Chains A and B, each alone.
Chain A
Amino acid sequence: MAKLPVSEEKLIEQFGPHLNYPPREGYAGRDEPDREVKTHCCFCGMQCGMKLLVKDNRVVGFEPWMEFPYNQGRLCPKGVERYLQNNHPDRLMHPLQREEGVGFKQVSWDASMEKTVSEIKRIQEKYGNDAFAMLSGVSLSNEKSYLIGKFARVALKTANLDYNGRLCMVSAGAGNKKAFGLDRISNTFEDLERAEVILISGANVSETFPTLTHWIWRARDYGAKLIVVDPRMIPLARTADLHLPIRPGTDSALYGAMLKYLADHDMLDHDFIDNHTSGFQETLDAVKDYTLEWAEEVTGIEKAKIELASQWWGKASTSFLLHARGIEHHSKGVDNVVGCINLVLATGRIGKPYCGYGTITGQGNGQGGREHGHKCDQLPGNRDITNPEHRKYISGVWGIDEKDMPGKGLTAWELIEAIHRGEVKGLISICFNPLVSLPNNNYVREAFEKLEFYACIDFFMCETAHHADIVFPGSLHEEEEGTVTSAEGRVIRIRKAVDCPGEARPDTSIILELARRLGQGDKFNYETSEDIFNELRVASKGGTADYFGITYKKIDDNMGIFWPCPTLDHPGTKRLWEDKKYCTPDGKAHFNAAPYREPGEVTDKEYPVVMTTGRVVSQYLSGTQTRRIGKLVDSFPEPKIEIHPQLAQQFGIRQDEMVRVSTRRGSADFPANIVETIRTDTIFLPYHWPGKKSANQFTPGTLDPVSKIPEFKVCACKLEALGVFATPSIAPKNVARN
């Protein structure tokens, strides 16, 4: 049922992506806006403060918000262009229903709701409640994240709810819970300023979190040494003191060897280890054979560089370790994360000024969105859906019998497998574009084709929505009030700047209407986003992610509040662990053994080259928004493979020549960009595009056994020079100026 109703080309012609450029003279009213709305960027976890200029219910431009403390007016190109998602010609304005041979026809809200609810009921009566699943995303506000967690369990009554955080920082979350019993960066970025050594691992900061670069450069002005671990010479690595060009998939070997080096050379904080941690000896035993020579062999990094990094880390009196998807998107993502944490704990440099550790959350609400329950094993406050006490407490808040609370469901990737097995027959999604963002996306597409019913809530027709039976036109970031929690753990306010255009509705109202039509309206009585937040506060009370003491007013008065904030008179918590009381059962910070093992797919004779994937500065996630903004697309129009001259020569590949990349999951052609800024055994492909331009048609997606994150960063491929050259990238024809 969910096969495309017409060709992909026809759908693109109608729904885009088209490129939005502002008029040359600027939008009317930009000089005299009706109001300036202080809000935040809709993209990454930095959540930079910015002001949207509004004239006649249109966002007509932006102004820097100089007073917001994290970014003080600074923005990246995505932030600068962010306002152009508003008034976009591709914007979905009406509910749509799939029509075979036609595409999508406009239908009424009533008809689209009725169809969706009747399909939910039909599928659940026939196959059971869990046969209808929901997928959500963490670009949504805290209020929506919480609401969807409740909606799926109370109104849909399904266990099968998961979210795109599963493809983001879930390995970091799992690692942090193992080590600290709580999942949040331990410090604000201000603590970078006077760190003596900064270790950045698997985080292309300057392209994915550009405004964070400022804080790192500040630290270097004060004399910090910067160590960057990345297979590529990323912009941040260019002027780093030490670049460790690691072979993809070998991170835990590096951190294991560094831990052994620290122990062998007695660069440990014995007092901290003895009194405030557990598991050190077992963890050290697991890496006892990890010599520098062994690490060089496995990671491909010269042992002298590993030694220097270990010495700098070992001798520092203050430090900050940051990582991101580069070490987390692995079948051993959790091992990589705890490997990093082990280095922090071994030197006792946490919970003190300028001593920090954390993951850099990728998505706009990657932090808050992973705390309040739209994850298959979680309830609000970062509670556990399998814990009887947690279930009881949240059932009480929601006014349901604990017996009616579904149990733990399947993770995002497992849901795709369950669709293939015929166990999941229906799906509703919001804020998630799995056809671009999940690995092995031909397999994902086939799953969507098997669904009996699929409804999608989105503001643009994302590639996954092409497979929908019903598309609900939802709301943009600037069309609803709410809060998000930035990568620093700072809960901040998102402001409504304009109303939804046409018949589009706020996401919240769509979810509430569905809940009412599913007969659960009495449990979803909210007048405002603040009402939802106030219920979230209560639901999170006593959990590790405790928001109870945070109110909208308090956020406004303080430009954000850092959780945990358990009481109304609590100021919030900027730096964790100053009291050395960890949230683990024994109250100690835990070392966790992370012995090295190979990635899910390794190179062999047939597929001899490693491919790794990542992002570019001008695009965000699956590109649903940023592939529609003209200047962002002009800046990086299409994916190319980055390849080292030595490897290119080996395959006879010339600059800009088309190269066929083949893997066990398929092949496609890309232009070559031959650069010395990548390892000689690795190619890089950015992932923001769909179909034959996608990196994720190749990625294997081997799951981490703990976090269930799919492996995106390591894939075995072969290359073939095709003898034809790519035409120079020109501005695509799908231009719309409005």
Chain B
Amino acid sequence: MPVTNYKTNQEFFVDMQRCIGCKACEMACAECETNGHESMIHVNYIDRAVTIQTTVQVCMHCDDPACANVCPADAISKDEFGVVHTANTARCIGCSNCVMACPFGVPKKNEAYDLMMKCNMCYDRTSAGKKPMCATVCPTQALYYGTREEMAMMRPNSSPVNNFIFGNEKVSTKVNIMMPKGATELRVD
């Protein structure tokens, strides 16, 4: 790994309450030529017939990434900063194990390239001390990249949560979801 200016005190925060479904994040993500102009972040309506609410799903960068664990080709790696990198193109065999294993439904197989592609937290930007593109442009800051202290000051009514309980499984992530004040985990069952 080359020497970087990656800021280890900066974290990624997602606040679904603030998402307005505008897709600025998707379009900004797709600007990256390493993605082949495909977005690695996804905005979807929950149920448009009854609500205007949208969700935004970005790679959660798990502490113990299921995608990497199930990869038969060892194509997915987590670096020293906790960033789970997209499949190494030389190794990925397009088997989709990671697509099925991810508890958050993040990796997508790009059929045209026969490759898995996912967010690497804009490593080209974050390693240069910048914020990821989606969190930079997000017009409502539903996506925020900064320190935990900044977040605590700016959003006094919310708490960041990065522990997710899926049945008996607990998944801890590098990316935080903003929850009501005092919450410590999100149960998804």
A contacts, CB < 8 Å to B = 21-26, 30-31, 61-62, 64, 66, 71, 73-77, 79-81, 206-207, 210-211, 213-214, 217-218, 221, 233-236, 238-239, 617-618, 631, 635, 645, 655, 673-677
Contacts and interface: CB of A to CB of B under 8 A. Distances in A.
A210 B141 contact: no
Given A64-B133, A234-B52, 15 more contacts: A22-B37, A31-B33, A64-B136, A71-B139, A73-B137, A75-B137, A75-B139, A77-B23, A210-B140, A213-B18, A221-B156, A221-B157, A236-B20, A618-B23, A675-B50
Contact of A74 (B20, B26, B137, B156): B137
A210 B136 contact: no
Contacts of B156: 221
Interface string B50-89: 1111100000000000000000000000000000000000
A676 B50 contact: yes
B114 interface: no
B49 A676 contact: yes
Contacts of A631: 27, 30
6 contacts: A22-B37, A26-B32, A71-B139, A75-B28, A617-B22, A631-B30
Contacts of B36: 24-25
Contacts of A66: 136
Given A217-B141, A675-B48, A80 B136 contact: no
A250 B157 CA distance: 36
Contacts of B27: 77, 80-81, 631, 635
B33 A73 contact: no
Identify the 10 closest CB pairs spanning chains A and B, nearest first.
A26-B33, A206-B20, A210-B139, A235-B20, A211-B139, A75-B137, A213-B140, A80-B27, A24-B36, A77-B24
A214 B141 contact: yes
B177 interface: no
A210 B49 contact: no
Given A25-B36, A234-B52, A74 B139 contact: yes
B154 interface: yes
Contacts, number: 113
A344 to B, nearest CB: 26
Nearest to A50: B137
A297 to B, nearest CB: 28
Given A75-B24, A238-B53, A635-B23, A217 B137 contact: no
B31 A210 contact: no
A13 to B, nearest CB: 26
A210 B20 contact: yes
A80 B49 contact: no
B74 to A, nearest CB: 27
Interface residues of B, number: 35
Given A80-B28, A80-B31, A221-B154, A74 B49 contact: no
A673 B47 CA distance: 12
A655 B47 CA distance: 13
Nearest to A220: B157
Given A77-B24, A79-B24, A61 B31 contact: yes
A221 B37 contact: no
Contacts of B138: 74
B17 interface: yes
Interface string B130-163: 0101001111110000000000001111000000
Contacts of A210: 20, 22, 24, 139-140
A77 B49 contact: no
A527 B49 CA distance: 57
A73 B48 contact: no
Contacts of B103: none
Contacts of A74: 136-139, 141
A73 B33 CA distance: 20
* Interface-centre pick from B24, B36, B53 (highest chain A CB count, 10 A): B24
Interface string B7-29: 00000000001101111101110
Contact of B24 (A21, A80, A233, A673): A80
A218 B144 CA distance: 13
B179 to A, nearest CB: 14
Contacts of B24: 75-77, 79-80, 210
Contacts of A81: 27
Nearest to A631: B27
B139 A221 contact: no
A102 B133 CA distance: 47
Given A26-B33, A675-B48, A213 B23 contact: no
A218 B15 CA distance: 13
Contacts of A214: 139-141
Given A80-B137, A206-B140, A213-B20, A25 B154 contact: no
A221 B178 CA distance: 13
Contact of A25 (B33, B52, B54, B141): B33
B97 to A, nearest CB: 26
B45 to A, nearest CB: 10
B172 to A, nearest CB: 26
Contacts of B37: 21-24, 26
